[in-house]
Chains A and B, each alone.
Chain A
Amino acid sequence: MIMEFPYLSAILASSLLGGLAIMLIPDHKHSLIKLVAGISSFISLALSLVVFYLFDASKPGFQFLEKLPWLPSLGISYQLGIDGIGLAMLLLTGIVIFTGVLISAHEFKEGGLLGRVGRPREFFAMLLILVTGVFGVFVSLDLFFLFLFYEIAVLPMYLLIGIWGTGKKEYSAMKLTLYLMLGSAFILLGILALYFTSGLGTFDWFALSNYSFSERFQTIFFPIVFVGFGILAGLWPFHTWSPDGHASAPSAVSMLHAGVLMKLGAFGIIRVALALMPYGAKFWAPYFAVLTIVNIVYGALVAMNQKDLKYVIAYSSVSHMGIVLLGITSLNVISLDGAVFQMFAHGVMTALFFALVGAVYGRTHTRVIADMGGLAKLSPFLAVAFAIGGLASLGLPGTSGFVAEFLVLVGAFRAYPLLAVGAATGVVITAIYVLRVLQKIFFGELNAHYVTEGSQAQTADEFSARHLQKVGSSGHHGFPVAMGDATTAEKIPMAILILVIITMGVWPSLLLRVVNPAVIELVGRIGGLF
């Protein structure tokens, strides 16, 4: 028999080896570092696309299986495999890391947002190691490895935000790390409990999924695992790390974190909590569903009241992750299809948003919405891109956001009619704040600053002296205010993200055709509550 090429391991290896290779490059060879990071992330993306293409949607269950015993005495094996849900996430991660690396490479330019801190070697190495962990979680079929990859995905974040972040970065980085470590403590407890209670002596997901845990066990441990992963998914009231973290992180890290890492939480809930403890899921879903409504509505309301552009996007992530979690807790095929689709759609959309916020901030040196205005005249591309992202965010038909929210709301209405109405109001509020931000920043009168000061291309020292007091962030002096439209280096990643948003909006079955069989199998396992 011909050995099948281990695509999934190759994806992991390409980012891990990329990260390790970068550590060996001398620190001053910036372009080589960027090149290696770019190639490594491109290989991951290309391989994810190949897997997406080769994946046979007509077959149920997992594909691309790989298995190597690793710690047989504890029943741990390196076991990879992917179903439609994991596949959607794999593709998302490939897209976001590739565009994220492109955006970071741009920001590391002389005078760029990251360039003023420097140390690109450590940045890209950590980014790629982090993404190895992310890929790893999505493809692991051994709970032990799932946990191990999860930790690898979470911890580099501390340094990525702490070193290259802005504002109160140290506070945000520590808060984020501690919250997520607390979550992983819950997860570890849950995984150990599953391991021991089953008595099978294995962390193998297949073996555990065939074992039926007692109802009492499931009612105790489902909420532990759900909350553990839920912390990373931004579940209210454990979400407070996310706005601070996302607002302080550099663009690429926010893109990855809001775009992909929060999905790790939702994915973990599906893969571990729902699949292994179906009775617990049925028992607890209605209660957690109430929390997700708070997520949606509260997140949107808070986003509406933010003055800082990045906080608006960060709170909108909390709100949108609420939609994902609502889809999950509604426990039916349509809602779960929607949840997975929303994970993908929100990942791409929020990556675009954070890339845009970085680009806008790089030009205006402020994130205070009130201090901006009329940027469309100076940067038409950014304005169009922001409009598309915004429209996807509020769920305009023709964008990926519409498909996702529609599916979730239809599914949720079947499960919890009253709650679904509440969720729908969240969508309306989203429209209000997205359009308000769009109008204030890009349209209307050109802000006086840019007419009198920006157009004369003065240095940032004078320019930002006034602005910094308003933003209250740490100083960044000595680079000119570069107004003007997006450069090609910025346009390419943004164009990729926009392309994905529109493609998935007009042709959702491209993704749903692989997601749906996996969801049907999952719901079959739960036995369907609604």
Chain B
Amino acid sequence: MDISLLKLELILSGLIGLIFVLDLLSGSKKIVRYAAVAGSLGVFIASLFIRQTGDAFAGAFISDGLSLIFKSLFLLNAFIVSMLSLGFLEKNGRYTGEYFTLIFSSTLGMLLLASSGELITFYIALELLSISSYVLSAFQKSEQKSSEAGMKYMLLGALASGMLLFGMSLVFGATGSLKFSGIAASLSSGSVPPIAYAGIVLIVVAMSFKIAAVPFHMWVPDVYEGAPSPVAAFFSVGTKMAGFAVLMRLFLTAFGNLRSEWGILMAVLSAATIIIGNLLAIPQTNIKRFMGYSSIAQAGFVLIGLAMATVTGLASSVFYLAGYLFANLTAFGVIIIVGSRVEGDNIDDYSGLAKRSPFLSLALLISLMSLGGVPPLVGFFGKLYIFVGAFENGFAWLVALGVLMSVVSIYYYLMVLKRVYIVPSPDTSPIKLTFWEKASLSICLAGTLGFGLLPLPLFNEILSSVRIFLQ
């Protein structure tokens, strides 16, 4: 057994402990904040260099190229969100230590999810992620909306957890194994017992909740609206990505030889998610609800790649998620900054932003256009790769739907940009940015533009990892 495979998880656990102790011992919350930012940056950089692969705990923990890519993305998400949280924590500083502890333990859950090779590990990692998330969304406990969001998220999350456990127990009953490889071996020998199908459907339903696929998406707009904006940013990228990471591993290794059955299911789910997410984004007036529906629609596109269950399909899903991380965090960064200055999250609050801060406006323009799939931004290549994968597998109808719905998404993204650039505002006082705000937005913008202009290195890296993963 090779415990050194868990280096990254151990370092992150160390960081959590450090934050806890610092918060306890030092009187200054400032030190805690900077320690968290520096620490998360450190773990992210470490994740780029720790490339050890192999199995630990008899296959319950798997470290391979795919999980390493996901881990780097989760840690990048944690780092950027930490920077974006600084302004929020300066105002609500009392629980700084707790805040970062929760963010990092949730991230730890994500890391373990990406590596889990067995149902129990999968479940425990998911609970670590989820329970931290419930607390985070209710973090502003004096705010009614925040508490409501936490409560709603927890109740629905518990329901999903229950279904997940039920599904797992059915799968275990049908196959007699908890390990993904054992399940796969059992399902490929002889006929598949019907009870296994029931288990798979229950697992799909529970995970649809996590990745916010239709029809299990209702919680998203409420939670995004109620939770503190940095937390919503954290969920919109991290939680979703973690859900996809484990879905890929579970469905392609454990249920790999049933892919023609669940492929159709995922394709239908993705179509419904794209349609509902895009159409419901249109009438929104609150920017965080708006981003909630937009992120639902985005998840639909990732599902297309997953439904293909091929090397190009999976690789394009992962690439799409990476691009989504940069673009969505840019957009949320702007939302966090504007929200803290105007004390509001209505789309109308963005009127005249172009005059108040050209940089924020440009950042929002680039990020929303990337989410809409406009070249030469990273979101375009994500969509292109997804469509290429779907075309290859004969899902031309999904491509047609995706392309048409991208046009719809351009419409509602432009409705926001219309406020920013066209509608004048009575308040023209310039918005000044702090160093951390500029730094985090610049990193995200660099990713959105850089991987748009030169998508190849990242895509090749993902492609080769996926190829090894699917062997």
A positions within 8 Å CB-CB of B: 70-74, 122, 147-148, 151-152, 155, 158-159, 162-163, 169-170, 174, 177-178, 181-182, 185, 188-189, 192-193, 195-196
Bound Cα distance from A162 to B415, whole angstroms: 11
A29 to B: closest C-beta gap in Å: 15
Instruction: Find the B residue at minimum CB distance from A154.
Output: B374
Tell me the complex Cα distance, A71–B403, Å: 22
Q: How far is the CA of A71 from the CA of B418 in the complex (A)?
A: 34
- C-alpha spacing A389/B468, complex, angstroms: 66
CA distance A192 to B390 in the complex (A): 11
Asked if A162 contacts B418 (CB within 8 A), the reply is yes
- Establish whether residues B414 and A188, one from each chain, have CB atoms under 8 Å apart when the complex forms: no
Q: Which of A72, A163, A181, A196 contacts B410 (CB 8 A)?
A: A181
Cross-chain contact A178 with B374 (CB below 8 angstroms):
no
Asked if B399 and A189 make an inter-chain contact with CB atoms under 8 angstroms apart, the answer reads yes
Number of A-B contacts (CB under 8 A): 64
A-B contact pairs, 26 of them (CB 8 A): A73-B459, A148-B376, A155-B369, A158-B417, A162-B422, A163-B421, A163-B422, A174-B414, A177-B410, A177-B414, A178-B407, A178-B410, A178-B411, A181-B410, A182-B404, A185-B404, A185-B407, A188-B387, A189-B399, A189-B403, A192-B391, A192-B399, A193-B396, A196-B388, A196-B391, A196-B392
Contact indicator B374/A192 (Cβ below 8 Å): no
B422 x A151 contact (CB < 8 A): no
Residues of A within 8 A of B155 (CB): none
- Which one of B399, B410, B421, B463 has the highest number of Cβ atoms from chain A below 10 Å of its Cβ? B410
Q: A148-B375, A177-B410 are in contact. Are A71 and B455 (CB under 8 A)?
A: yes
Residues of B within 8 A of A159 (CB): 417, 421-422
B440 interface residue (CB < 8 Å to A): no
Q: 5 shortest A-B CB distances, which residue pairs?
A: A185-B403, A162-B422, A148-B375, A181-B407, A151-B375
Cross-chain contact A182 with B407 (CB below 8 angstroms) = yes
CA distance A155 to B373 in the complex (A): 12
* C-alpha gap A319/B165 in the complex (Å): 66
A71 to B406, CA, bound (A): 23
B460 within 8 A of A: yes
B120 within 8 A of A: no
A466 to chain B, nearest CB (A): 26
A189 to B387, CA, bound (A): 9
Bound complex: CA of A122 vs CA of B422, how far in Å? 12
B388 touches A189 (CB 8 A): no
Interface pair B407/A162, CB less than 8 Å apart: no
Docked complex Cα distance between A122 and B463 (Å): 39
With a cutoff of 8 Å between Cβ atoms, the chain B residues found around residue A188 in the complex are 387, 403
When the two chains form their complex, are residues A192 and B407 in contact, meaning their CB atoms are under 8 A apart? no
B463 surroundings in chain A (CB, below 8 A): 73
Question: B411 touching A174 by the CB < 8 A rule?
Answer: yes
Which of chain B's residues have a CB closer than 8 A to the CB of A177?
A: 410, 414
Which residues of B have CB within 8 Å of A158? Answer: 414, 417
In the complex, which residues of chain A have a beta carbon less than 8 angstroms from the beta carbon of B369? 155
Check: B265 CB closer than 8 A to any chain A CB: no
Whole-angstrom CA separation of A188 from B463 in the bound complex: 23
Given the known inter-chain contacts A152-B375, A155-B374, A162-B418, please indicate yes or no for A189 contacting B410, CB distance below 8 A: no
Contact of B400 among A122, A151, A189 (CB under 8 A): A189
By beta carbon, the residue of chain B nearest A181 is B407
Main secondary structure of the interface of A (DSSP, over half): helix
- B: which residues have CB within 8 A of A? 354, 369, 374-376, 387-388, 391-392, 396, 399-400, 403-404, 406-407, 410-411, 414, 417-418, 421-422, 455-456, 459-460, 463
Nearest chain A CB to B301's CB is how many angstroms away? 14
- In the complex formed, the residue of A with least CB distance to B423 is A170
Kindly list 18 other residue pairs between chains A and B, CB separation below 8 angstroms, not including A178-B407, A182-B407, A188-B403: A70-B456, A73-B459, A147-B375, A148-B376, A151-B375, A152-B376, A159-B417, A159-B422, A162-B418, A163-B421, A169-B422, A174-B418, A185-B403, A188-B387, A192-B399, A193-B391, A195-B388, A196-B392
Task: Closest B residue to A169 by CB, please name it.
Answer: B422
Nearest B residue to A162, CB-CB: B422
Contact for B418 among A152, A170, A182, CB less than 8 A: A170
Task: Give A118 Cβ to nearest chain B Cβ, in Å.
Answer: 10
Q: Which of A147, A148, A163, A181 has the most chain B CB atoms inside 10 A of its CB?
A: A181
Q: Which of A72, A74, A169, A182 contacts B388 (CB 8 A)?
A: A74
Cβ of B359 to closest chain A Cβ, rounded Å: 11
Interface centre among B354, B374, B387 (most CB of A within 10 A): B374
Whether B388 lies near A192 (C-beta < 8 A) is yes
In the complex, the chain B residue whose C-beta lies closest to that of A71 is B456
CA distance A159 to B354 in the complex (A): 12
- Which chain A residue lies CB-closest to B392? A196
Instruction: Please measure, in the bound complex, the distance between the C-alpha atom of A177 and the C-alpha atom of B422, giving whole angstroms.
Output: 15
| Residues of B close to A74: CB separation below 8 A | 388
A138 vs B305: C-alpha distance in the bound complex, in angstroms?
33
In the complex, what residues of B have CB within 8 A of residue A195's CB? 388
Contact of A151 with B414 at beta-carbon distance under 8 Å, contacts A73-B456, A192-B388, A192-B399 already known? no
Task: State A5–B375 Cα separation when bound (angstroms).
Answer: 28
Q: Give Cα A396 to B376, complex, Å.
A: 44
- Expressed in whole angstroms, the Cα–Cα distance for A162 and B65 within the complex equals 47
Q: Are B406 and A185 closer than 8 Å at their CB atoms?
A: yes
A162 B375 Cβ-Cβ under 8 A: no
Residues of B within 8 A of A155 (CB): 369, 374
Residue in chain B with minimal CB distance to A118: B355
Rounded to whole angstroms, the CA-CA distance of A189 and B396 in the bound complex is 9
CB pair A162–B421 under 8 Å, yes or no, is yes
Distance between A174 CB and nearest chain B CB, rounded to angstroms: 7
Which residues of the partner chain A approach B387 to less than 8 Å between Cβ atoms? 188, 192
Smallest CB gap from B463: residue in A: A73
**Shortest beta-carbon distance from A345 to chain B in Å:** 31
Minimum distance in angstroms from A161 CB to a CB of chain B: 9
Q: Looking across the interface, which residue of chain A has its beta carbon closest to that of B453?
A: A70
> Which residues of chain B have C-beta atoms less than 8 A from A170's C-beta?
418, 422
Nearest CB in chain B to that of A74: its residue: B388
Task: Give Cα distance in the complex from A169 to B421, angstroms.
Answer: 13
B147 to chain A, nearest CB (A): 39
User: What B residues does A189 contact at CB under 8 A?
Assistant: 399-400, 403
B353 to chain A, nearest CB (A): 13
Chain A CB within 10 Å, residue with most, of B407, B418, B455, B463: B407
* Assembly CA distance A193 to B390 (angstroms): 12
State the CA gap A169–B422 with chains docked (Å): 10
Which residues of the other chain, A, contact B404 by a CB distance below 8 angstroms?
182, 185
B316 to chain A, nearest CB (A): 11
Shortest Cβ distance from A475 into chain B, in angstroms? Answer: 13
Q: Which residue of B lies closest to A150 (CB)?
A: B375
Residue on B with the closest CB to A161?
A: B422
- In Å, the complex CA distance between A170 and B456 comes to 38
